[in-house]
Structure 1
Amino acid sequence: MFGTLSEETQVKVPVSKAWALYGSLELGKIASGKILECVDLVEGNGGVGTILKLTLKPGLGFVHCKEKFTKIDNKNKIKEIEAVEGGYLDLGFDLYRFRIEIKEIPTDVTSSRVKCTIEYEVKEEFAANASFVTAESMTTLMSFANEHLLQSN
């Protein structure tokens, strides 16, 4: 079973500033202590192949997971992260991918459009677990990130 969820938001900062946060390790620092207990760098320097261990706050369904940066396209401002251990993979998922896209708003170059998408594939025998994938984590992360961008503007 394959599924996707997407959310979009707009933030009043130029694309370059939004990408500097969303396209880097800084995003994990923003999430740490707010929506996650902590984010630990396991391997890499923020480029493709970087692996992070995310420790979740209690009550979110699982304790930790590891995610790997699988795509960072600085030209098109697209970053993809996939679960490689724990988390959704322990719930019968074959794929859990988080994509971030930053686009300029043609009518307002001082603002950016942030689109986050979750793509997932879950084994048929665990299809009921697809209900654990919600947009709430995306909207919360975008809210904290955008608040940070506006405060540092």
Structure 2
Amino acid sequence: MSGHLEHELELGVPVTEAWDLFGSLQFGELLGKDMPSLFQKVEVVEGDGGVGTVLKLTFVPGTLGPTSYKEKFTKVDKENRIKETEVIEGGYLELGFTLFRVRFHIIEKGEDSSILKSSVEYQLKQEASENGSIVSNAIQALASIAQVAKLHLNKNKLASQEK
């Protein structure tokens, strides 16, 4: 069983500002700090934010499905503003998923705005098909994460305009 779910949100900031956040480790720091209802911790296990970087995400129990997992940055495309991560240990893999990939794509929308397209691509063992509904929770979490990022980016935009 496999599938793909996505979510889009207009961010209201130029594409370069959005990518500066999503294309860096600052994004993980933001989640760990600004989403205490979802994340207990977001830790860099290894790497500097480029391909091969490994993060450990620990969730508040009962919020998502898995309590924690490690993910690896498998693609960081600065030119096209795409970042992909795959779960490499724990979490979704323990629930029968053989692939769980999250993708963030920042799309330019005019000079002063951009769109964040978040998606989950997954493959699930047939014998674990009852866990397929967990993906809906994951895409809802990505929608919440997008909203927090939008608020952060626009707060920074207002602060810089006031200076």
TM-score bucket of the superposed structures, by smaller chain: over 0.9
Q: Which residue of 2 aligns with 1:18?
A: 18
SS at match of 2:112: strand
Q: Which residue of 2 aligns with 1:115?
A: 117
Tell me the C-alpha RMSD between the 2 structures. Answer: 0.8
Report the counterpart of residue 62 of structure 1 in structure 2: 66
Distance in 2 (alpha carbons) for counterparts of 1:3 and 1:62: 19
Equivalent position amino acid for 1:139 in 2: A
State the one-letter code of the partner of 1:43: E
Gaps of 5+ in 2: 158-163
Aligned residue number for residue 130 of structure 1: 132
Q: Which residue of 1 aligns with 2:149?
A: 145
In the TM superposition, structure 1's runs of 4+ consecutive aligned residues that sit over 2 Å from their partners are none
Residue-by-residue CA offset, 1:53-100 (whole Å, 9 max, x unaligned): 001011132221000000000000000000000110000000000000
Q: In the alignment, is residue 40 of structure 1 matched against residue 35 of structure 2?
A: no
The structure whose residues are more often helix, as a share, is 2
Identity %: 45
Task: Please give the alpha-carbon distance, in whole angstroms, between the structure 2 residues aligned to 1:29 and 1:43.
Answer: 14
Aligned length: 151
Instruction: For 1:3 and 1:149, locate their aligned partners in 2 and report how far apart those are by CA, in whole Å.
Output: 30
TM score, norm. by length of structure 1 = 0.96
Q: Deviations over 1:15-70 (max 9, x none)?
A: 00000001111111111141211111101010000000001011132221000000
Structure 1 stretch displaced more, 58-67 or 110-119: 58-67
Residues of 1 paired with 2:67 and 2:130: CA distance?
A: 20
Please report how far the alpha carbon of residue 115 of structure 1 lies from its aligned counterpart in structure 2 after TM superposition: 0.1
